[in-house]
Amino acid sequence: MTIRDVTQAVPAPEGSGAGTRPAVARTRGLRKVYRSAVAVDGVDLEVPQGAVVGMLGPNGSGKTTTIRMLLGLVRPTEGEVELFGQPMPESAESTLPHVGALVEGPGFHPFLSGRDNLLRFAAAEPLLPSNKIGTAVADALELVGLSSAANRRYKGYSLGMKQRLGLAAALLVPRKLVVLDEPTNGLDPAGTREIRRIMAELHARGTTVLVSSHLLSEVEATCTHVIVLSKGTVVAQGELGELLEAGNPTLEVITPDAAQAVDALRANRIPARLAPDGVLVDLVASPAPQVIETLVQAGVSVHEARRKRTGLEDLFARLTESHEDEAPVDLELNEVEQAGVAS
Amino acid sequence: MTATTWEDAPAVTTRRHRAPLARLLSSELRWIFRRPRTLVVLALLAIFPVIIGISVQLGTDGQPETSGDAPLFVSAITNALALPLGSLMMLLGLFLPLAVAMAGADAIAGEQSVGALRGWLLAPVVRGRLLGVKVFGVAVVAVVSAGLVALTGLVTGLIINGTDGLFTLSGTELSLVDALGRIGLAVAWVALQLLAVGAVALAISTTTEHPMLVVAMVLGGLIVSQVLGLFDALSWLHPFLLPDPWVSALPDLLRDPIAYDTLGEGALRAVSYLVIALSLAYARIVTRDG
């Protein structure tokens, strides 16, 4: 898989007007009730085109159920799902051929070889011409590094190899959207890096990627956008950087004159508090340069000042543990998108 | 995922795409007939008529021909007409239904149990079409199983007795062509009965992800039906039992002329089972969570 002329690899999406990029996938008021258990409730999410969207959430938070409804595998109890602007699951035949998915682990028959399993699914791919099935399967095996094990029975595959084969099935055909549900399950660190590399390459080609994971570092490393689910509802979604910023905009100033600094800042109506090595300054009201200027003018010796970014882990913990008491952090994706385009 | 193919990726439109049906069907058949246990069952089915033919032949070979009836009786069982039909009749009791029940169980519950059903739905193969592909696969298994039994029975009969002694139960002797026609009819009729069993298996298959459960329920139901068919007090129930005509219908093909009453009724029952079971299977598969 080499990247050649990435700009050409991204054809203009249909119906994309000037300005806003359409969402590849969108849900409104999605709700799924199994018997009496509510799996997903009131989920409104958007997967912007070209983004790598990480779907985060603790086990049982509704990630997989949401993905299954997106793909038309499960009919929602309430709410709407749109893929490429078309309603699901009614439009499965026009949308799903463009979607590659690895959902709930790989599903293959143990008595067939990896290649034969893939050939079987390749036969069902609507966009794959019959004379290209062989090459498509070989290419997909090559991509996930299974060429040498292609003729071995699936039964004998390791967990990581099974996962790779599932990924190969998702990438049999050029896709507009790739949905990966916990893709790194069972993979060793090298395998995880491979998945990241593949996701990065998909991103570079303009393929939209939706990946669910409970591994935060993975999402932080590869995603442009994040959707956080907890107890079946979306507690935050938006561009990754924005979410982290929105979490806690704080400037940490290292100074020996902490008490003097706090006084000076408070005199200028800038909220600040003492920290072990200096002061923590709330940046909601005033930008960082103004804070530092204030401090310097007050004669405080500033040794170091850095933007304290909330790690994804902190954000995640905050969102998923106490979201019931807080208003959800909800960024307008369109604004974020435009900001992204402009930059 | 070569660069060229990804650059050629067609844009998403509202046009519906479907994989060619012939490709799906041949892929399904390849899957069915590469499965080791399918092959084992088919091999056992093929051997069975050979075993009957040889053991009947051996059992009577060394005996002195004191009774004048014995050679006729023996040839009547081992001849190229009676052996295939007799084998079909005996195997229809349990073993042939087992073959289609397994096929029906693997077709949906088996796929679901390993998570492969999702792969079809995501391709996508829409659910009604998927059921159609699965029905086709089960139908082929039904025809192949019945055909295989008849074929090895015929060949064994021909080897033991040649084209001689193609007697009917009415005492007349048939030409080989006539006999082959009757065997063909028997295969078609048995395949139809098996397809009805397979349709029931598919209907159960859509409700579970445990293929063993499907096989157990189908065979259990079959045995119960056969037992219920034994009691005259339950005669009001007999017209609803699929296996009820099984024992009496096939020997009618050995009469001259053929008595079509029971065969026709059996066919009608099979079609009824088929329609009802497939309707239930369809209703279930379109609402099932994938």
Lowest mean pLDDT among A197-211, B61-75, B274-288: B61-75
Both tokens of residue A99? 């979607």
pLDDT at A4: 38
Q: How confident is the model at residue A159 (pLDDT cuts 50, 70, 90)?
A: confident
Burial of B105 (0-12, 13-18, 19+ CB in 10 A): buried
Alpha helices in chain B (DSSP H): 3-7, 21-34, 36-61, 69-78, 82-92, 95-105, 111-114, 117-122, 127-161, 176-205, 211-228, 246-249, 261-287
Domain holding B180, by residue range, is 21-57+67-287
CATH of the domain at A146: 3.40.50.300
- Quick one: A160 and A265 in the same domain? no
Residue A301 lies in domain: 249-308
Once rounded to an integer, what is the mean pLDDT over residues B184-189?
94
pLDDT at A33: 87
A16 occurs within a structural domain: no
Terminal Cα-to-Cα distance of chain A (whole angstroms) = 28
Higher pLDDT, B139 or B12: B139
Q: Please give the average per-residue pLDDT across A312-322, as a whole number.
A: 71
Indicate whether B2 belongs to any domain. Answer: no
Pick the residue of B1, B102, B209 with the most A CBs within 10 A to test the interface with A by mutation: B1
Assign A108 a pLDDT band (cuts: 50, 70, 90): very high
* Chain B neighbors of A127, CB-CB under 8 A: 10, 17
pLDDT at A341: 40
pLDDT at A233: 86
- pLDDT exceeds 60 at position A278: yes
| Contact yes or no for A123 and B289 at CB 8 A | no
| Tokens representing residue B249 in the block | 């219908």
Mean pLDDT of A88-106: 89
Residues of chain A with pLDDT > 90, as a percent, come to 22
* Whether the predicted pLDDT of B249 surpasses 60: yes
Q: Residue A270 maps to which CATH number?
A: 3.30.70.100
How does residue A322 score in pLDDT terms, banded at 50, 70 and 90? low
Which residue would you say has higher pLDDT here, B284 or A298? Answer: B284
What is the structure's pLDDT at A334? 39
For residues A4 and B2, give the distance between their C-alpha atoms in angstroms, rounded to a whole number.
Answer: 10
Prediction pTM value: 0.81
Same domain for A57 and A164, yes or no, is yes
pLDDT (average), residues B254-258: 82
pLDDT at A331 over 60: no
Q: What's the average model confidence in pLDDT over B37-41?
A: 94
What CA–CA distance (Å, rounded) separates B185 from B192?
A: 11
Q: Is residue B112 part of a domain?
A: yes
Residue A155 scores a pLDDT above 60: yes
Regarding whether A193 and A179 lie in a shared domain, the answer is yes
Phi/psi zone of residue A227: left (φ > 0), alpha (ψ -120 to 50 degrees), beta? beta
Identity of the residue in B8, B23, B124 whose CB atom sits nearest the CB atom of A174: B8
Chain B contact present for A140, CB below 8 A: yes
* CB-CB neighbors (< 8 A) of B6 in chain A: 9, 174, 205, 207
Whole-Å CA distances, B196 to A295, B132, B274, B280 = 87, 15, 5, 13
User: Which residues of chain B does A84 touch, with a Cβ-Cβ cutoff of 8 Å?
Assistant: 12
User: A216 and A264 share a domain?
Assistant: no
Give the nearest chain B residue to A84 (CA atoms).
B12
Angle of helix B211-228 relative to helix B176-205, nearest 10 degrees, comes to 120
Confidence of residue B206 (pLDDT cuts 50, 70, 90): very high
Total of domains in chain A: 2
pLDDT at B2: 47
Mean pLDDT of A8-15: 38
Q: What is the Cα B14 distance to its own chain's centre?
A: 41
Q: Range with the lowest mean pLDDT among A113-127, A296-310, B190-204, B239-253? A: A296-310
Q: Considering only residues 46 to 105 of chain A, which have any Cβ-Cβ distance to chain B shorter than 8 Å?
A: 68, 71-75, 84, 86, 91-99, 101, 103-105
Tell me the torsion sign for CA atoms A140, A144, A148, A152: negative
Tell me whether residues A108 and B114 touch, CB distance under 8 A.
yes
User: Nearest CA to CA, how far is B1 from chain A (Å)?
Assistant: 5
B7 located within any domain: no
Residues of A in contact with B126 (CB under 8 A): 92-93
What ipTM was predicted for this assembly?
0.84
Indicate the residue type of A3. Answer: I
Which range has the worst mean pLDDT, A41-55, A106-120, A325-339, B72-86? A325-339
Q: Is residue B153 part of a domain?
A: yes
Tell me what pLDDT residue A180 has. Answer: 92
A10 pLDDT band, cuts 50/70/90, is very low
| Cβ-defined contact of A136 to B5 (cutoff 8 Å) | yes
Kindly tell me if the per-residue pLDDT of A248 is higher than 90: no
Please calculate the CA angle A269-A272-A276 and round it to the nearest 5 degrees.
160
Contact (CB<8Å) B14/A112: no
The pLDDT value given to residue A7: 35
**Residue among A106, A30, A121 at smallest CA distance from A72:** A30
The pLDDT, as a whole number, for residue A288 is: 80
> How high is the mean pLDDT of chain A?
80
Res. A12 pLDDT band, cuts 50 70 90: very low
* A9 within some domain: no
Instruction: Quote the pLDDT of residue A213.
Output: 83
B1 domain residue, yes or no? no
Q: Above 60 in pLDDT, residue A333?
A: no
Assigned domain for B16 exists: no
Same domain for A125 and A221?
A: yes
In a domain, A11, yes or no: no
Regarding whether A66 and A47 lie in a shared domain, the answer is yes
B103 vs A112: CA distance, rounded Å: 17
| Per-residue model confidence (pLDDT) at position B76 | 60
B-chain residues within 8 Å CB-CB of A73? 118, 121-122, 289-290
Q: How many domains is chain B partitioned into structurally?
A: 1
Are residues A1 and A201 in contact, defined by beta-carbon separation less than 8 angstroms? yes
What digits encode the pLDDT tens for the residues A232-245?
888 888 888 777 76
Q: pLDDT tens across B71-120, in order?
A: 545 556 667 788 899 899 999 988 999 999 999 999 999 999 998 999 99
Query: Quick check: A13 and A3 in contact, CB under 8 A?
Result: no
Measured between alpha carbons, how far is A314 from A243 in angstroms, rounded to an integer?
11
pLDDT at A342: 39
User: Which among A73, A93, A124 has CB closest to B16?
Assistant: A93
